[in-house]
Structure 1
């Protein structure tokens, strides 16, 4: 297979990953597989290189959501700092510790997330409860932990984030996805710089994948901002992603 054919396949996969990340999460499972299995990057280099597309895709998607009235940064800024601080700490750890050992526990975390998504599905299809006041002594540490995880490995972070926002903060799933783009885009720029200065970013390969991820993110965010069925579609995509992830982790 020629380099052009490899990059073409990688770009299509990256576009799919960008769409999945925007509407649900765990699209990095696709891009990390492309980077390691198809393009032959070592795990830590793939982890850093993947952040290029994550940054461009989430930033563009957040911009589309904002333009279409699905994202109000003022309402969510209080949730931003614990995630941001956690992501920086996770990025520091990722530069010094391989995340391969963590993947053995990842399968059980995926099972937990699938159960959380399937129990009482109506909770995932409700509007944002603007009167709800979450206990920040509980949720601030939770947001820090999810930020730490995102800075460390990124894969699956979007699903964890949706579970916290939709079930814990009672925010609508599409608005949660919009906020997710803002949050991940913000901390990924810093984490990407950290990987770059350690020589753990392949800018050529990462930029090629980033084009596909960004196109997928843009198109999906545009659809999700305007479709009346967006909530239901996002929920079912989330279930499909989790079922496929659990099947892959346990059967391979």
Structure 2
């Protein structure tokens, strides 16, 4: 691995850790970076998933104040995320590699659409918070299965699972968006962790990539919980969309 590759992957990890904590969709930074350096798609996906686990933990720690008082809710939804992440990881390993090659471009496009639509989703969520009431503390009945489905998606690929989680919880749980964002960081981290554990045992993992993304994402997680909160979200969205389009082009060209 050349110096250029090391620096690029490390910086991609920092960017992904920051974006995952603030917005979600950090995989759209690291995944295309790995593809650009010739890493096979499935190896890139599993190595990236494991590498982003420390960053998710870092972001959750950075949001620990917003997590106060949410223990019961987080524990309940964590079960859905763990089961979903396990299912998604198993699907990735069992389905033929051709299926991954066919599905990933669709998932990248879905992730980009979600990122682009995030402002409208946020407005809709804010409007819902102003109008609904009487929801259980854990949220509407459909929140748990929806978090499970999001976990399946995250275990399989993962880009924009944070946006999906915020949309689900924002509509179905009567809570502030900042506190839901803290919960999102925990749930997305658990999905990556359980999928990463499975991949570490049975999949082809590039541990140098894991190390570089892991170190970078830890730094990025702290940036996302501090400085990243002050960055214009529009700037982050533009970066994600541009890199995501590059990912789509690179993936289809390989």
Shared fold by TM > 0.5? yes
> For the aligned residues, what is the CA RMSD?
3.0
Residue 102 of structure 2: SS of its match in structure 1?
A: coil
Mapping of 1:23-62 within 5 angstroms?
23-38=22-37, 40-62=38-60
> Is residue 168 of structure 2 the alignment partner of residue 167 of structure 1?
no
- Give deviations 1:144-171, integer Å, cap 9, x for gaps: 1101001111122111112112233244
> Is residue 66 of structure 2 the alignment partner of residue 70 of structure 1?
yes
Counterpart in 1 of 2:217? 213
- Give deviations 1:166-210, integer Å, cap 9, x for gaps: 233244333222212211222322221211122421112210121
Instruction: Indicate if the aligned counterparts of 2:116 and 2:237 stay in contact, CA closer than 8 A.
Output: no
Structure 2 distance, partners of 1:197, 1:205, is 16
Structure 2: which 5+ runs fail to align?
none
Residue 101 of structure 2: SS of its match in structure 1?
A: coil
Structure 1: which 5+ runs fail to align?
225-229
Mapping of 1:92-241 within 5 angstroms?
92-97=90-95, 98=97, 99-106=100-107, 109-110=110-111, 113-114=114-115, 116-119=117-120, 121-123=122-124, 132-133=135-136, 134-136=139-141, 138-223=142-227, 230=229, 236=234, 239-240=237-238
TM-score (norm 1): 0.81
Structure 2 distance, partners of 1:174, 1:223, is 15
Instruction: Indicate if the aligned counterparts of 2:128 and 2:171 stay in contact, CA closer than 8 A.
Output: no
**1:113–1:189 distance in 2 versus 1, CA, 3 Å:** closer
> Is residue 9 of structure 2 the alignment partner of residue 10 of structure 1?
yes
Residue 201 of structure 1: SS of its match in structure 2?
A: coil
Structure 1 distance, partners of 2:121, 2:192, is 32
**Aligned pair count?**
241
Instruction: Indicate if the aligned counterparts of 1:20 and 1:26 stay in contact, CA closer than 8 A.
Output: yes
